[in-house]
Amino acid sequence: MGKFIFNKTDINGLYVIESVAINDNRGYFMETYNYNDFKQAGLDMVFVQDNQSKSKKGVLRGLHFQRKNPQGKLVRVINGEVYDVAVDIRIGSPTFGKWFGIVLSSENKKQFYIPSGFAHGFYVLSDEAEFVYKCTDFYAPGDEGAILWNDRELKINWPIDNSVGVILSEKDKLNPSFSELYT
């Protein structure tokens, strides 16, 4: 049995990846990344930076991207649950402006591979969530771009908990719309 199941999405390049966990009375063990297995699945990228964040329920981070130094990301949740979204911003792509969302949690142990050329964000569903991701390029502070999380054109179906709402950074409150960036 393989260590990973690579599930393609309807958007070229996006993958939901399931690691096969070995469970016993002590708990579980699983690989979360193996260069050879990923390469065999057609995901031949090199990661140069790992990041981790902790957020409380209702926090929405995104939709972020880098303009000149785009990052591919392999994301997962090690504690809690989030709704994770990627938006295709590859000009000329047949799925330009389309989005894909998935629940990632410490329970389902799913990972999401988002290649460069996508905006990315997530909304915290649990009381808190710890989110980790590997990046294919280094973070470049002057290279940041972002799209408004609730853009009317994108119509992302965020599962917002109305009792909590959405908690945004001051920066994310000012993000431009998709059409402001791409028309």
Q: Which residues are catalytic?
A: 64, 133
Task: State the residue for tokens 């389309």.
Answer: 98
| Calpha distance 64→120 (Å, rounded) | 5
The span from the CA of 144 to the CA of 129, in Å, is 24
- 156-160 LR contacts (CB < 8 Å, sep 24+): 156/85, 156/87, 156/99, 156/101, 157/101, 158/60, 158/83, 158/85, 158/101, 158/123, 159/83, 159/123, 159/125, 160/123
Beta bridge partners of 103: 83
* Dist. CA 121–CA 123, nearest whole Å: 7
Please count the other Cβ atoms lying within 10 Å of the Cβ belonging to residue 175: 23
CB-based contacts of 56, cutoff 8 Å, min separation 6: 124, 127, 128, 167
